[in-house]
Amino acid sequence: MPRSLQPHYVSNARWDSPEKVESRSITIINLFRDTFGVSSIPEEKQYWTMCGAHFDKHGALKGEFGHLLKSGFIQPSQFHGVDREEVIIQRNQQIYPDAEWHHGDFLSTMEDYENFNPAVINYDGVMQPKFGSRYLKSIMKFVDFNVEGELLLVANFLLINPYTHNPDLVFSIDDTIGMLFGDYYFPDHWRMVPQAYSYGTGRGHNLMGVLMFVKKSHDPDNISITENRRI
């Protein structure tokens, strides 16, 4: 691949780092298994994620796909990875041709996919809570009106950005939850897992916060919202 075409974050693709592997195990694999009482997602279901580069300047990485596969959590064709950078998707496809790779915006790609049937949606974002919570609300509203079955929704936020020393850009998990509740009224089919998760990653020690939500089966044509419900 010509160096000039590589997005800068390829050189810092840390999907195999101990921090990311542990977070993925705790917030996705183990949580899904404990919640739904199964070892893997059902065969007719899909796993959707903001995939990033499954390679770095040294070559291929196991990445999220390899981790889930080794854990017996998914079959290759159940994995749907989405990235805005076309060069990322093309290279991922070359390395792991049995998975499904999509070039585009995460939400728009899910909206446009004809047979969307997720068991897990991993919004592995790198936005801070102010903007990340808005994007998550859009994902949840889309799910509200388009997905009947139960699923796990996991959302990552950048709580502390090492590239700025602005105290106004330092957030807590509680800040993130407050922003999410700002203008989205949670329908009764959502439950937020009470134990949030945080971890540091990268040389600059970014602090990431993870929120997890479980959706039970519901009728998209009959959505109920209980006022002042604690989810």
Roughly what angle, to the nearest 10 degrees, separates helices 129-146 and 173-180? 50
Q: How many CB atoms lie within 10 A of CB 144?
A: 18
Which residues lie below 8 Å from residue 169, measured CB to CB, with a gap of 6+? Answer: 128, 160, 161
DSSP the chain: --GGGS-GGGGG--TTSHHHHHHHIIIIIIHHHHHHS-SS--TT-EEEEE---SEETTEE--HHHHHHHHTTS--GGGEEEEES-HHHHHHHHHH-TTSEEEES-HHHHHHH-TT--EEEEEE---S-HHHHHHHHHHHHHHHHHH--S-EEEEEEEEEE-TT---GGGB--HHHHHHHHTSS----TTEEE-S--EEEEETTTTEEEEEEEEEE----TTS----TT---
d(CA 171, CA 160): 6
**Are the CB atoms for 226 and 186 separated by under 8 Å?**
no
Which residues lie below 8 Å from residue 111, measured CB to CB, with a gap of 6+? Answer: 142, 146
pLDDT score for 109? 98
pLDDT along the chain (231 residues), means of 10: 47 75 96 98 97 89 95 98 95 97 98 97 90 94 97 93 72 88 90 88 70 97 88 75
pLDDT score for 3? 41
Per the confidence metrics, is the pTM higher than 0.85?
Answer: yes
pLDDT score for 12? 57
* Domain 3-215 = CATH 3.40.50.150: yes
